[in-house]
Amino acid sequence: MTKMLREGEEADAEVTWEDQQNINAFSKLNGRLEALDEIYQEKKKEKEYLEDLTQELELADEDESVKYRIGDAYVSITLDEANERITAENSELSTELDGITSKMETINKEMAKLKAILYGKFGKSINLEK
Amino acid sequence: MAAVEANPRGIPKAPFVANVDEYQATETEATLKKFQEMIAKYKYMENNNLQRKKSLESKIPEIKKTLDMVNFLISKEDSDEPIQTQYELSDTLWATAKIKSTDTVNLWLGANVMLQYTTAEAKDLLISKLSAAKVSLTQVDEDLEFLREQITTMEVNTARVYNHDVKLRRLAKAQKQAAGGGDEEERD
């Protein structure tokens, strides 16, 4: 992330407390973004599974019960009940995903701002890319 | 240095070296050693928090699962039909059970204690445990961010003191060369 100056490289610009705070903020945001991205990918996969499940259940026999996993056990419930549970879970996931996306957007914007400031001041003596 | 600031959980803030010369008054080696020690302390705290985070991250889904089941039992409370279920008897063995609708459950509280609750009580308890765990998780995340910031500050401090030292040495060498007029080879 933030690169230290190597021996022989001169710090052209003096690092002020404000710069340091900007650097720290940038590093913090970067960490947050990575954590969010991980959660996002996980939830997205879960949502895909649920969508597969919905398609699968369309072919199921209406009179037969579905064994649905709740907690650590399987429970036999009707097809309607299973579909209800899936729809509820799906919409919950969608809201969570939306929340994560908007958070990531805000972070990206803040990071772009900090990048402009820091590159403006330090130029090549700082490396803010992944 | 003014009074040490700290975050809500009492982790002290790292000092920022505004004036390298001031710090350089003492031995560079000693200063760098002190910095290293501080970084090590922060890293130690970071490790502790990472472990707490891990345990919370496994606890939360567990509570959620239990809450899910309790909610299901509540939804079936008024039904006369027994609940058909397959449950895990041992790692590779599942058994079928019919459960009459129930309004009580036993919750494992830990430390070899299990307590019977009505489903409504169990639900309340689990919800409060879940939100408490989530609060702890955000606090741990905050602490981790804070610690990382302090580590970055200390690392930058280290780099600046080090660079300053290099500069001073060069200056001293240049002066010596100028004084001696020698043709010594430049070495870092």
CB contact under 8 A, A75 and B72: yes
Give the bridge partners for B132, in sequence order.
none
Question: For tokens 């895990």, what's the residue?
Answer: B88
Residue B160, chain A, CB below 8 Å: the answer is: yes
| B125: three-class secondary structure by DSSP | helix
For residue B3, pLDDT over 60 is answered with no
Domains of chain B: 29-158 (1.10.287.370)
pLDDT given at position B24? 60
What does the pLDDT read at residue B23? 61
| pLDDT of res. A5 | 47
User: What is each CA distance from B116 to B42, B79, B110, in whole angstroms?
Assistant: 43, 21, 13
B10-19, B106-115, B147-156: the lowest-pLDDT one: B10-19
pLDDT on residue A102? 96
What is the tens place of the pLDDT at every residue in B85-94? Answer: 998 889 889 9
Q: Which of A52-61, B25-34, B137-146 has the lowest mean pLDDT?
A: B25-34
Q: Do A70 and B68 touch (CB under 8 A)?
A: yes
Q: What is the pLDDT of residue A1?
A: 43
Q: How confident is the model at residue B28 (pLDDT cuts 50, 70, 90)?
A: confident
β strands within chain A, DSSP E: 66-70, 73-77
More confident residue, B107 or B19: B107
Q: Which of B14-18, B44-48, B68-72, B97-101 has the lowest mean pLDDT?
A: B14-18
Q: Is B156 on the interface with A (CB under 8 A)?
A: yes
What token pair was written down for A126? Answer: 């700082």
pLDDT tens sequence across B107-125: 998 889 999 999 999 999 9
B143: number of CA atoms within 13 Å, CB side?
23
Q: Could you say which residues of chain A have pLDDT below 50? A: 1-3, 5-11
Distance CA B91, CA B102 (A): 26
Q: How far apart are CA A31 and CA B53, in angstroms?
A: 15
Amino acid A6: pLDDT: 45
Region B162-186: mean pLDDT is 77
Contact residues of A toward B, CB < 8 A: 1-2, 4-5, 7-11, 15-17, 20, 23-24, 27-28, 31-32, 35, 65, 67, 70-76
Q: Which residues of A touch B122 (CB under 8 A)?
A: none
Q: What percent of chain B has pLDDT over 70?
A: 89
Structural domain spans, chain A: 17-47+80-125
Torsion from C-alpha of B73, B78, B83, B87, nearest 10 degrees: 20
Mean pLDDT of all residues in B166-173: 85
* Maximal C-alpha separation, chain A: 78
Alpha-carbon distance B166 to nearest alpha carbon in chain A (angstroms): 7
Name the β-bridge partners of A73. Answer: A70
Averaged pLDDT score across all residues of chain B:
85
- Residue B26 is predicted with a pLDDT of 63
- pLDDT, mean of residues B64-80: 89
What predicted TM-score, i.e. pTM, was given to this entire model?
0.75
